[in-house]
Amino acid sequence: MKTLNRINRILIFLIVVVAIVATSCKKEEIDPPHFVMPTYTLSAGDTLLTIAQLKAMHPAVVNTKDSIKSDYFIKGIITGNDESGNIYKTLYIQDATGGIMLSLDAKEMFNKFKVGQEIYVKCKNLIYGIPYGGEIQLGAIYNGNPGRLAEAEIPKHLFKNGWAGSAPEPKIITGAADLTFDKAFMLVRMDSVTFAEAGQPYFSVALADNGGGTNRTLTLKDGTTIIVRTSSFATFKDVLMPTGKGSIIAVLGYHMGFQLFLRNTNDVFGFSSK
């Protein structure tokens, strides 16, 4: 009889355990993970500037390295990140008035800062810098020059607002007359273009410079040429450039002159030999 009672108790215990496990599994299926949409609101005393207004406060002079001391913010949509490896330790953002590059000492930022994400940037204590190449950036001082903001400081300055949506419509560039500095660091589109080195890979070890990139030549509709720069870390570096005429979407960068940064090969489309 004692043995039978012990067996009954064990059976009851097992039934209870099974019931608890089954209930937990059912609850997990019913209750999916809860995500909270990120939001950001300026505090009293903060001032929101457009990107153009921020630029207008600083001289457009190479080697500028101004420390921002006021409670200024800008906000913009991310147009370029490091997802493909072609854009390195940089986020490009833009609003309706212009674009700017955020120089950040971090990798794989695309996991958190996706293209199409609106962010607020707290400018106070950042450096508004223009290194020797002429590219305007927000970052920090590194070895006495404008450089990247330390990774630990990024959460103190970049704040997401809402879910990531679509990137802004790119500015249309048809030729030399459209290559103006107000479009620098913005997303652009160029139609009826050709690659001078069509049929060759975007990146070439033999042609790589000290910066670890290869410059290729794109000819615009009016015959103007512009550099397409590809990093040795780009996931598409071995892809062959298309032949014929087509369209590209890219970030219009600037370093000793205008240059284009492709985000991925989906931004190269419509090429035809006809």
Which pLDDT belongs to residue 212? 87
- Would you say 31 and 100 are in contact if contact means Cβ atoms under 8 Å apart? no
Q: Supply the DSSP string of 172-239, one letter for each residue.
A: E--SGGG--GGGTTSEEEEEEEEETTTTSBS--TTT--TTSEEEEEEE-TTS-EEEEEEETT-TTTTS
- The fold for domain 171-272 equals OB fold (Dihydrolipoamide Acetyltransferase, E2P) (2.40.50)
Which pLDDT belongs to residue 8? 56
Which pLDDT belongs to residue 161? 98
Which pLDDT belongs to residue 14? 53
Which residues in the chain land under pLDDT 50? 2, 4, 18, 26-28
Number of H helices, E strands in the chain: 2, 18
CB atoms within 10 A of CB 168: 18
Distance CA 53, CA 36 (A): 32
Collapsing DSSP to helix, strand or coil, 224 comes out as: coil
- The fold for domain 47-160 equals OB fold (Dihydrolipoamide Acetyltransferase, E2P) (2.40.50)
Considering the chain, tell me which residue range(s) the CATH 2.40.50.200 domain(s) occupy: 47-160
Look up tokens 């508004």; give the residue. 128
Query: Which residues are 205's β-sheet partners?
Result: none
Which pLDDT belongs to residue 60? 83
Which pLDDT belongs to residue 6? 56
Count of residues for the chain?
274
